[in-house]
């Protein structure tokens, strides 16, 4: 059956639409790179730009990360960027070529990429990444971390050697966390001290989340006199002797347990150490919430039980006071001022650090409707998480 003029016109319109879509996608990636350099993604409830794209536009996190990587690569690859904007190459081929193209090779790769499948480009990219990984393997084998106490156990030294990429990750984590920690009086200009505080905060958070309370608990042996006197010193089991004042501060957070002792090391009382829900409660919580209850997240792998009314403020460890939150959004609540609330009907609502309700999905669109020509406005309501299976009425 031969092609008709109507068939040819239909294909022409499809090609024209493809060019417009490619141009808009090119602009979207440009804006992503711009936003990533300007935004603090925690203000938007995200770990980074890819996490935000994943939640906001409902794409997979794997694809979102490829988009972000391509967004930065296109800034240094003018020919590939132009081929994308003109529709000569679609977004899937562009994000794969951006993994290994250079200024010297992009012209040749564009010609090659137009005549081969996207799968062929992906295989070439995987091979390039694999070769780079093999070169790093030797460096990774030399990684090490060691520590020791000195100065009569008053000081602790930590020494690490890591591959550059992992080292950059550690440096970024410490740097970002250091920015959020309060400055101690007299240490306003001490960046090194703030990084040290950040390292302690990371370790503190990890211990608090450990599923094995017996092995992850730090035990502080305190003499009865330590409760009323700052002159008496306490001892960390397997660690140094510390002042009573320090012991009292440590017991305010993380997974520490105090063993109160009288004369002759006689145990008088063992303090409570765990706010962890029972195993059956965790199972029920995971069944009910499915994943992180933050709008658009749904992460299961790192989801944790969070006390809506905080445990240290008297919140009970029961299902009505628990919500499943991934480790990242858990930090938003505890360290960045975000809050959640469960209504009487079981709905969970999220509020940012300013107390404003957090919305799910893109902002309302005011572009002309393709059917009516009038503004296309979709009203948004504060996000309310509902247990799966319940229908809003």
Q: Give the pLDDT confidence of 242-252 residue by residue, as tens digits.
A: 766 566 555 54
Residue 45 has φ and ψ, to the nearest 5°, of 75, 30
Give the separation between CA 251 and CA 273, rounded to whole angstroms.
9
Give, rounded to a whole angstrom, the gap between the first and last alpha carbons of the chain. Answer: 53
Our CA dihedral for 68, 70, 73, 78, rounded to 10 degrees, sits at -130
Chain-centre distance for alpha carbon 32: 18
Choose the most confident range, by mean pLDDT, from 80-89, 146-155, 220-229, 354-363.
Answer: 80-89
Total residue length of the chain: 393
The DSSP secondary-structure symbol of 259 reads E
Choose the most confident range, by mean pLDDT, from 43-57, 213-227, 248-262.
Answer: 43-57
Q: What is the average pLDDT across 76-104?
A: 95
Looking at residue 272, its pLDDT comes to 46
C-alpha distances (whole Å) from 230 to each of 222, 249, 256, 265 are 12, 12, 19, 19
In this predicted structure, which of 217-231, 263-277, 309-323 has the lowest mean pLDDT?
263-277
379 falls in which pLDDT band (50, 70, 90)? very low
Bigger pLDDT: 151 vs 96? 96
Query: Of 319, 321, 320, 318, whose CA–CA distance to 309 is shortest?
Result: 321
pLDDT surpassing 70 at residue 271: no
- In percent, how much of the chain has pLDDT > 90? 27
Query: Of 60, 42, 8, whose CA–CA distance to 298 is shortest?
Result: 60
Our CA dihedral for 311, 42, 186, 232, rounded to 10 degrees, sits at 20
- The neighbour count for residue 142, using CB atoms within 10 Å, is 9
Q: What is the average pLDDT across 189-218?
A: 70
Give the separation between CA 349 and CA 304, rounded to whole angstroms.
17
Choose the most confident range, by mean pLDDT, from 260-264, 283-287, 298-302.
Answer: 283-287
- Domain locations in the chain as residue ranges: 16-138, 142-211, 218-273, 279-385
Grouping H, G, I as helix, E, B as strand and the rest as coil, residue 131 is helix
Give the separation between CA 184 and CA 178, rounded to whole angstroms.
12
Query: Of 64, 69, 94, whose CA–CA distance to 82 is shortest?
Result: 94
Q: Residue 240: CB partners within 8 Å, gap ≥ 6?
A: 149, 153, 154, 156
Looking at residue 388, its pLDDT comes to 47
Yes or no: say if 227 and 214 are a contact pair by the CB < 8 Å rule. no
Taking the whole predicted model, whether its pTM rises above 0.75 is answered as no
């Amino acid at each position: 059956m031969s092609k008709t003029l109507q068939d040819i016109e239909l294909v022409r319109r499809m090609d024209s639409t493809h060019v417009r879509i490619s141009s808009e996608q090119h602009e979207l990636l440009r804006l992503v790179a711009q936003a990533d350099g300007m935004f603090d993604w925690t203000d938007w409830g995200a770990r980074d730009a890819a996490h935000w794209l994943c939640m906001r536009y409902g794409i997979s996190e794997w694809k979102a990360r490829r988009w972000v990587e391509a967004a930065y690569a296109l800034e240094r690859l003018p020919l590939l960027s132009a081929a994308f904007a003109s529709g000569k190459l679609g977004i899937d081929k562009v994000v794969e070529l951006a993994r290994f193209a250079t200024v010297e090779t992009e012209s040749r790769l564009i010609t090659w990429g137009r005549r081969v499948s996207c799968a062929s480009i992906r295989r070439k990219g995987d091979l390039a990444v694999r070769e780079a990984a093999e070169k790093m393997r030797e460096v990774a084998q030399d990684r090490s971390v060691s520590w020791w106490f000195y100065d009569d156990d008053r000081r602790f030294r930590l020494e690490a050697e890591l591959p550059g990429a992992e080292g950059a990750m550690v440096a970024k984590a410490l740097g970002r966390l250091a920015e959020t920690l309060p400055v101690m009086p007299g240490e306003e200009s001490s960046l090194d001290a703030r990084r040290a505080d950040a390292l302690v905060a990371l370790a503190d958070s990890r211990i608090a989340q450990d599923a094995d309370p017996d092995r992850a608990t730090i035990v502080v042996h305190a003499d009865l006199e330590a409760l009323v006197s700052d002159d008496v010193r306490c001892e960390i089991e397997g660690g140094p002797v510390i002042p009573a004042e320090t012991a009292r501060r440590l017991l305010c957070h993380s997974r520490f347990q105090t063993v109160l002792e009288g004369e002759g090391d006689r145990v008088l009382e063992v303090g409570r150490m765990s706010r962890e829900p029972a195993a059956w409660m965790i199972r029920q919580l995971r069944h009910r919430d499915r994943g992180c209850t933050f709008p658009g997240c749904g992460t299961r792998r790192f989801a944790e039980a969070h006390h809506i009314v905080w445990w240290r403020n008297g919140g009970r460890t029961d299902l009505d006071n628990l919500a499943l939150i991934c480790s990242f959004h858990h930090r938003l609540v505890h360290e960045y001022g975000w809050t959640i609330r469960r209504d009487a009907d079981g709905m969970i609502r999220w509020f940012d650090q300013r107390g404003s309700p957090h919305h799910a999905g893109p902002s309302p669109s005011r572009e002309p409707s393709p059917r009516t020509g009038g503004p296309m406005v979709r009203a948004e309501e504060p996000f309310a998480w509902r247990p799966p299976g319940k229908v809003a009425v």
